[in-house]
Structure 1
Amino acid sequence: AARYAFDYKGIAEDLMHGQFAVQQNFLPVGFNGALTDQPYSYDPQKAAQILKDAGIKNPHFKLAVSNQPPYLDIAQALQASFAKAGIEVELIPGVSSQIATDVKAHKYESTLTAWGPDYFDPHTNASAFAYNPENGSKTLAWRANWHIPALNKQTLQARSETDAVKRTETYQALQRQVRESSPFVIGLQNKKLVALRDDVQGYVQGITPEMVFYKNVTKSE
């Protein structure tokens, strides 16, 4: 139901004015194997019907969120979009460090947060969203208390797969499973806005800082 109560385009385009793009998969656009299809759209009536069919009356939950922009702004927009589906969202603003501590201690109902890759390989995010080994690794899946033995095995298989096509297919399968049955509602991908003067040529913005090569940049006089 939450996936249909999220006003993806309204937040990305109207609220954030293009600073974010809609992305419903744990791999960001630009990474090998990243899915770009968007199976969910804002449909509060459908969300409400799902809850009704499940016998859930007066749905409500607490959402812990950083009191810094843009998190609180997005959280308030979600509060409004969920309300149209009959879902009451109680915002719990706080200092980012304290919220992170509470999440890691499993002292929260839900939280709004951002996640960034550590290196340019799909395993960096797969190991966070689709991996929670029994010994506990403090991954996002662990923080969500989501036990996923089958996906753990799949994630490790993808990491060690030497066939490029099979590796990509495995990461795509992982993304589909996470977006369909996980406790994560992934909705947005941050966009870095770059301003260039007309006389600067050859600049290409890489998806990570180390992928920007200034040696190719020239400036006309």
Structure 2
Amino acid sequence: MQHAVKLNKSSAFILTQFGLTPENAEKMVTFEGNRLTLKLDQPYAQSYVLNCLLAEAASVVDKETVLSHAEGEDFGNAWLSTNSAGSGPFSLGGWRPNEMVQLAGNAEYFQGAPAMARVIVRHVQESSAQRLLLEQGDIDVAWNLTPTDVDGIAGNDKLATGNEPKGRILYMGLSQKDPLLQNPAVVEALKYLADYKGIEQSFLKGKWKTHQNFLPEGYLGASDENPWSYDVEKAKKILADAGVSSGTVKTVVRDIPEYVNVAQTLQNAMAQAGLTLEIQQMTGAQVLDAYRARQVPIFLGEWGPDYADPNTNASTFAYNPNNADDAGISQLAWRNSWAVPDAMNKATIDATLEGNTDKRVQMYLDIQKEYREIAPIIPLFQKIEQVGMQKNVQHWTSGGAVSSAMYRQVTKG
């Protein structure tokens, strides 16, 4: 932990948000035998702290081994890019970039040696190639399969399929700088102009599922409420009651089929309600630059959590301490020029300090309920990861919404 804070790379914020700095790391993070003492700048919720300590930035590495390979002031970081000195169930047995990683079981792992003495992870980019290797018995698990390939192996009695919700959220951000989108009635109407079921069952089939909350399923405090459905007539009435009969707005989308298809579906629905959506396609870098500069009226894209605690999303969707153009902060609320109400800002902070986990869960449910009612940043779908595997593979998980694939518990019968 001291290593991560002192390096102060991008992921260090997961730890520095608790008051740790490169200057005070050795005083705030101390060790005696197997006991870790972590001093914080506030009495944070235990669940919040422990969830953040699950992040890679807090991984435990052997200090003496790593520092023996230090170059200048890098604390051994360059050496760690191709070597391991960790304390997990596996160590790095071999690595060929863009080809494969081999993991060797750690017999001294504190919870016991993993069931598999060796795991080989191959980089196979194409889903069809993964499927072929799986059908031939050359691999045990294939993940990120397309719906077509999942359907293709469904009848194979030697294989099994499954899916898990992941942490990524596909959402629609409505800039509050845009005169049309500043109207709460337009924001409300757009919630009913997204064809959730139609999109989920067509071009996003097997990849995303409807999820209208900023906390993904699987997270502490996640809500399963999905109150909006595709209803053009309802959207038209909302607009008519507010005196809105027409309007034009632009979306800038990354030039990949999923985003473009969502934008075009929304464009068709908006046209039925008297609104015009202009679609401009750009590269991912161009879209992100414009979005960070608060220059995108309607943003369609993804957000992925940084760590396994609800604050990772609450602090970006429902928190904006300074809405000024020159604030230059990274919150999604700021990028969409949404001045989050003071009460919601406070509730988001308070939830990180609530020591009773049940009460903390309710706080996030309450925040999301109010958020659904007033926020101009609309969660639409949650990512799904589909896998195919040999039937003798047991206890497999790709990590769900809060983690990555884990191999310690996997067995082959």
Asked if these proteins are the same fold (TM beyond 0.5), I'd say: yes
Corresponding residue for 2:28?
none
Structure of larger gyration radius: 2
Percent identity of equivalent pairs: 39
**Which of the residues 60, 63, 87 maps onto 2:248?**
60
Corresponding residue for 1:177?
370
Q: Distance in 2 between matches of 1:118 and 1:126?
A: 12
Structure 2 counterpart SS, 1:114: strand
Matched, 1:122 2:315: no
1:41: Cα distance to partner?
A: 0.6
* Structure 1 pair 59–152 and aligned structure 2 pair: CA distance change class (3 A): same
Matched, 1:110 2:303: no
Q: Distance in 2 between matches of 1:123 and 1:209?
A: 13
Matched, 1:202 2:395: yes
Q: Distance in 2 between matches of 1:133 and 1:209?
A: 26
Corresponding residue for 2:339?
147
Corresponding residue for 1:89?
277
Matched, 1:42 2:230: yes
Structure with greater strand percent: 2
1:177: Cα distance to partner?
A: 1.5
Structure with greater helix percent: 1
TM-score normalised over the length of structure 1:
0.94
Cα deviation code 1:26-64 (max 9, x no counterpart): 000111111111111110011011111111121321111
**Which of the residues 183, 195, 216 maps onto 1:7?**
195
Q: Distance in 2 between matches of 1:103 and 1:56?
A: 27
Q: Distance in 2 between matches of 1:23 and 1:188?
A: 5
Code of the residue aligned with 1:14 in structure 2: it is S
Code of the residue aligned with 1:196 in structure 2: it is M
* Structure 1 pair 190–208 and aligned structure 2 pair: CA distance change class (3 A): closer
Pairwise CA RMSD? 1.5
* Structure 1 pair 119–145 and aligned structure 2 pair: CA distance change class (3 A): same
Cα deviation code 1:144-189 (max 9, x no counterpart): 1111222111100001111111111111111112211111121111
Q: Is the 8 A contact 2:395 2:410 kept in 1?
A: yes
Q: Which moved more, 1:38-47 or 1:14-23?
A: 14-23
Q: Is the 8 A contact 1:59 1:86 kept in 2?
A: yes
Code of the residue aligned with 2:311 in structure 1: it is H
TM-score normalised over the length of structure 2:
0.51
**Which of the residues 55, 78, 81 maps onto 2:266?**
78
Structure 2 counterpart SS, 1:193: strand
* Structure 1 pair 22–210 and aligned structure 2 pair: CA distance change class (3 A): closer
Q: Distance in 1 between matches of 2:360 and 2:329?
A: 23
The gaps in structure 1 that reach 5 residues or longer are none
Q: Distance in 2 between matches of 1:203 and 1:188?
A: 24
* Structure 1 pair 138–118 and aligned structure 2 pair: CA distance change class (3 A): same
Q: Distance in 2 between matches of 1:74 and 1:197?
A: 34
Q: Distance in 1 between matches of 2:244 and 2:354?
A: 42
Q: Distance in 1 between matches of 2:401 and 2:222?
A: 15
Corresponding residue for 2:80?
none
Q: Distance in 2 between matches of 1:58 and 1:199?
A: 59
